[in-house]
Amino acid sequence: MRIILFGPPGVGKGTQAKILSKNLKIVHIATGDILREAVSRGTGLGNKAKSFMDRGELVPDDIVIGIIQERLKEHDARNGFILDGFPRTLPQAEALDKVFDKLGIKIDRVVSMEVDKEVLMNRLTSRRVCRNCGSIFNLLVDKLDDSKCKKCGGEIYQRDDDKRETIERRFEVYQNQTKPVKNYYSVKKLLVEVDGIGKIDEVTSWLKSAVK
Ligand code: AMP
C-alpha cells in the first residue's frame, strides 16, 4: 500500500505515520526527519536545509525532490510506504508523479488530516522530541517531570521550528504553498479527509478505515 499523509504542521502526521507504518508493515518516509538527521550530522544537505527549517520556510523543491527520488528507490520502499510531509508544493506533487511513473507504481490514497488552527498552535508549542530515539511527546498529555524521555531516558528538547513565531510562519507557508496540493489530489479522486482531533488510537482507527 502506498499512502500520502497530508495536513498542516502539528496535525499528528508523524505520530500516526509511525503507528500505521508498524500496523501496515510499510516503511515511513518523512522528509522532515531525513532533513533533521542531515542537520544534526552536519552534512552538506543539512547545512543547506538548516536556515530554511529554522525560519519555518520550505526547503527548496530541488533538494527535497532529490531526497525522495533516492529514498523511494531503496529496497524497503518496494512493499509500500507512507509519505509524511511530502509533497508540500505543486511542483513536488508533479515531480512525485514522474518518479512514480518511472518506478511503475501508483499512489493508493492521500489522507488529509484536519484540525483547527488554534488546537494546532497549542499542540505544537507543547511538542517535545527525544534527541536520542526521536519519540514525540506532548506536554499537554505526557508527564515529563525530569525532562527525560520516558522510553529511552534520552534528552528531551523543543524543535526550533516549534517556537510560536516560527509556527505562525509555517501556517502561512502551509496556506499559500501546501494547501493547493490537496486540490491536486482531490481532482485525481485520491483524497480522503479524516478528523485529526481525538485520542491517538481513535485517529489511527479512522485513518485505517480511510486507507482500506
Ligand atoms: P516536518 O517535520 O514535516 O514538519 O518538517 C520540518 C521542516 O522541514 C519544514 O518546516 C520544512 O522546513 C522542511 N521540510 C520537510 N519536508 C519538506 C518538503 N516536502 N518540502 C520543503 N521543505 C520540507
Indicate whether residue 29 lines ligand 1 (CB < 6 A).
Answer: no
Cell of 175: 496556506
DSSP letters, 140-171, are TT---TTSB-TTT-PBEE--GGGSHHHHHHHH
Q: How far apart are CA 193 and CA 196, in angstroms?
A: 9
CB of 100 shorter than 6 A to ligand 1: no
Give the span between the Cα atoms of 70 and 89, in whole angstroms. Answer: 19
Three-state secondary-structure class, residue 82: strand
Of 84, 50, 29, 9, nearest in space to 160 by CA: 50
CA 183 vs CA 27, 49, 56, 64, 186: distances in Å: 26, 27, 23, 21, 5
CA of 88 to the centre of ligand 1 (A): 8
Q: Is the CB of 85 under 6 A from ligand 1?
A: yes
Cβ 17 under 6 angstroms from ligand 1? no
Burial class (CB in 10 A: 0-12, 13-18, 19+), 183: exposed
* 205: nearest Cα among 1, 14, 23, 5: 23
In angstroms, what is the span from residue 95 Cα to ligand 1's centroid? Answer: 16
pLDDT one digit per residue (tens) for the chain, 212 residues: 999 999 998 899 999 999 999 999 999 999 999 999 999 999 999 999 999 998 889 999 999 999 999 999 999 999 999 999 999 999 999 999 999 999 999 999 999 999 888 888 998 899 999 999 999 999 988 888 778 999 999 999 998 888 888 988 989 999 999 999 999 999 999 999 999 988 999 999 999 999 98
Predicted TM-score (pTM) of this structure: 0.87
Nearest CA to ligand 1 atom 15: 32
Q: Is 88 a known active-site residue?
A: yes
Q: What angle do CA 41, 32, 63 make, to 5 degrees?
A: 80
Ligand 1 pocket, 162 CB below 6 A? no
Taking the C-alpha atoms of residue 119 and residue 115, their distance in angstroms, rounded to an integer, is 7
Ligand 1 within 6 A of 71 CB? Answer: no
Cell representation of residue 99:
518518479
Interval between CA 207 and ligand 1 midpoint (Å): 22
Q: pLDDT at position 146, please?
A: 79
What's the CA-to-centroid distance between 59 and ligand 1, angstroms? 7
User: H or E element: which one contains 182?
Assistant: helix 179-187
Question: Annotated catalytic, 188?
Answer: no
Please provide the size of the chain in residues: 212
Is 127 among the residues known to form the active site? yes
